[in-house]
Structure 1
């Protein structure tokens, strides 16, 4: 709501009379005072000249004072068009008449000396000359009067539009009546014949016939101007009152604003004091927090080490994988010293080719090393060689090997997955720091099932850029060989691991040693195009008398083939 809307002028008794001087009451419809005044003037003029048919005909079809003015202008234009040819003669005749009029006193004296001869003639000539002069003066005065009215009408219409009061309506109607009266006479004069105009100029000169009406028009114009000036002064006075009221309201607002500012300053002071207190408390707390943080920072590595040791202790297998690998390596070396043949090296060469393809692939893959009949020991030896080769090549490799002697713990897939988790955490302790909230000691409790251990293994392997898993579980196969399709289910566990790790854009390569003949090649290749398969057969036993003749170069050739993969 604006300031002016908040001021009710009608509520001020001292101001209502001033408002009525320049505008109608509030809520009244916007009026066309000029048109109303014209209609009222026409009604008055028609009643005043009720018996005059010329007046009715003159006003017929006119709807405003401008239409009446156009009618007169049209009659004037027609008159001027008809008199254009006689204008030079009238101009010289007018000059002649002015000359006679200049010497009129002398001629009057001659007429007095000889009245019997020249009185009648001179009187006739003087009458004619006076008529000509009056005719010219009448035309000039009519033109001046019409020009005056044309100049006055726009101002009258503007005043009537600005100040729509009853006084203004009466004044405009009165003036329109005189203007219409003048227009009617002027139109009649312009419409007369030349003879009647000349006679009218003599009998009814401008001073007698039109001057009074023109004076009335001037007087009405002055009256309208006075009304407009008075309304303007009243409006200015009203504006002054409004400005004073606004000024008073502004002073009240300034006082309220000053009060608000003082209250705000007081509140700000209290707020600043409160903030200072809060800052002091915050500084004190910050000092305490920094001290506590230092203690916590110092304790955090200790807690991590304790938690890491606790996790390793919970995951620690019955026999460490390093010890099993060390024993299996020693047994494989001792076996090669007494049992070696050309068939063994051919098998090693085939495995080396498959191993080369498996290592060089840029995607996660599964290598299935199948053990033939009575070839489990040889197959384990090859798995041990592959583990040692990958370790010497500085690859991250984690393995599962069947222990040489049966332990107290029953072999199971959960224990295999748990052992792999143990090796990853043991060799990559920083992997736990990547899961500060999702992994803690409770996630490594021994009572977890196979699916939970697999999910945990997938999570850890997915955080390694690249790693190798070697799984040889003859003991688990011997315990589960009675179950149909067990080997296929066992391979599916690691296939799920590969799929999960590959989705996280990490790289894992898994080598699984299988035993028995319950696994078909078609089922192996069905899961992925990146699976590799190699089969190891039982080597032929060389008689003791022929073993010494076997050249040592063949023994070295196998290690050279494996060393090519390292390079």
Structure 2
């Protein structure tokens, strides 16, 4: 490289600077051209003559002594002009390829800075630099120099070899880039395989840990103690001791006494069982109701014995059918004997709570018993005990309650004529509000007193839990034995349909 070329290279700081310098020289060269139309016409004429040059060669052979020298000189000039255009075309083609290759070279040098890549890029830069120096020099030459170099340095000899070298080196770099990408993919695949193996090892460890946890859980579950056990008979007995001190006979004893008194009256008076056909359809609808229901049976004072026998008979029928039933029968006061003390409304509710705990014994738990016992100690009013009674009833799916209201002979002014119906209707509504599915069938039987006045039924006609009040006819005792047998048969039919049991009369 001579000093002039070295100086032009040293002025540039990068390959882009050299390319810009050559592009500027090309612009100056193109702007300096004059008579572009004449040059275009001359170029077309030269191409046409050159295209038909073979024909002219054949014609010259007829008289070579006259035409050969002139035709040869003319052809020489035409080839010189064509070489000049070929040089311009080769330079433009080479500059375009170099401009497209430089960005890829920079990216390849950054992504794959290997030794082979650096060497290939250096070789390519050398050929590009060589081509750019030649192009820059050509654009700065004069017309006479262009004409001379068109003959002495045709484009095929001076530029085509460099362009081919640049293309070959570019292909080598592209091949190295592809190989580098494949190598990176291989490394990535190896890393993915390693990660997959690590994940599989972690999954195996997790499965092992899961099996250990399951085994530990099975071993630990055997050591857990359920503190909320079912109530034992001893625990239930301790709870019931708090409720037995009420001035009423024990429920089973009261039922036996009522049944015994019924038999004695029938034997002494030699009468047939009373006729209850007026009550049977109402009792059937009351028993078949799918929700809690309250029925009131009101008789006269003259029929008090028939009403007592009705209460005891219904309890006996339900017991024989296996239905859970609770009752309050008027069979004498006192715990084990007669007493002048009459039970209060609170005593009656305690009496029902006592029976409800016995019915719910199989479903009660220690936590349930603890909650109930705590409420026992704080209960003072009828409302408190009714709330306790409703909570105990939630432990059973269905229960029947039969109450002889005359057991608590309260005057209408003490608690109100509608106290008992209102109390049970309130329990039904509260259980429905809490979503309890328990069905409670309550029968209130009264005769002769001022309790359960007719005004209550008129005030509560809108309640879906209240069945119409049933009034006993003036004469409930019949002289026809077939009517008594008919009532017993109807009662056994109801019990058989509801509970699947066959009862004998």
Distance 1:424 1:86, change over 3 A: same
Distance 1:170 1:444, change over 3 A: closer
Partner of 1:113: none
What is the CA distance between 1:494 and its match in structure 2? 0.8
What is the CA distance between 1:151 and its match in structure 2? 4.0
State whether residues 292 and 441 of structure 2, in contact with CA within 8 Å, keep that contact through their aligned partners in structure 1: yes
What is the CA distance between 1:481 and its match in structure 2? 2.8
* Residue 519 (structure 1) aligned with residue 454 (structure 2): yes
What is the CA distance between 1:480 and its match in structure 2? 3.9
Matches of 2:99 and 2:151 in 1, distance apart? 24
Matches of 1:501 and 1:555 in 2, distance apart? 38
State whether residues 97 and 132 of structure 1, in contact with CA within 8 Å, keep that contact through their aligned partners in structure 2: no
* Residue 391 (structure 1) aligned with residue 323 (structure 2): no
C-alpha distance after superposition, 1:309-331 (max 9, x if no partner): 21122222542111111112222
What is the CA distance between 1:172 and its match in structure 2? 7.2
TM-score (norm 2): 0.64
Matches of 2:164 and 2:49 in 1, distance apart? 41
Q: What is the SS of the residue equivalent to 2:422?
A: helix
Which structure shows the bigger proportion of residues in helix conformation?
A: 1
Rg (Cα) greater in structure: 1
Partner of 1:210: 150
The 5 A counterparts of 1:122-521 are 127-138=69-80, 140-142=82-84, 144-158=86-100, 161=103, 162=105, 174-180=133-139, 208=148, 210-211=150-151, 218=158, 304-318=232-246, 319-337=249-267, 345-346=274-275, 348-405=276-333, 407=339, 410-433=342-365, 436-440=366-370, 442-443=373-374, 445=376, 447-449=378-380, 450-476=382-408, 478-483=409-414, 486-502=416-432, 503-514=435-446, 515-516=449-450, 518-520=453-455, 521=457
State whether residues 178 and 217 of structure 1, in contact with CA within 8 Å, keep that contact through their aligned partners in structure 2: no
State whether residues 231 and 361 of structure 2, in contact with CA within 8 Å, keep that contact through their aligned partners in structure 1: no
Matches of 1:563 and 1:126 in 2, distance apart? 148
Partner of 1:532: 468
User: RMSD between aligned alpha carbons?
Assistant: 5.4
C-alpha distance after superposition, 1:291-310 (max 9, x if no partner): x87xx79x998983432221
Distance 1:223 1:141, change over 3 A: closer
What is the CA distance between 1:560 and its match in structure 2? 3.5
State whether residues 174 and 220 of structure 1, in contact with CA within 8 Å, keep that contact through their aligned partners in structure 2: no
Q: Which runs of 5+ in 2 are unaligned?
A: 1-9, 108-121, 177-208, 497-505
Q: Give 1:37's match in structure 2, choosing from 15, 21, 26.
A: 21
Matches of 2:401 and 2:461 in 1, distance apart? 19
What is the CA distance between 1:411 and its match in structure 2? 2.2
Q: Which runs of 5+ in 1 are unaligned?
A: 1-20, 26-30, 47-54, 61-70, 102-106, 108-121, 186-203, 237-274, 543-549
What is the CA distance between 1:552 and its match in structure 2? 4.6
Q: Give 2:488's match in structure 1, choosing from 554, 559, 565.
A: 559
Q: What is the SS of the residue equivalent to 1:314?
A: coil
Q: What is the SS of the residue equivalent to 2:287?
A: helix
TM-score (norm 1): 0.58
* Paired residue total: 422
Matches of 2:136 and 2:86 in 1, distance apart? 19
Q: What is the SS of the residue equivalent to 2:70?
A: helix
Matches of 1:375 and 1:24 in 2, distance apart? 130
Partner of 2:501: none
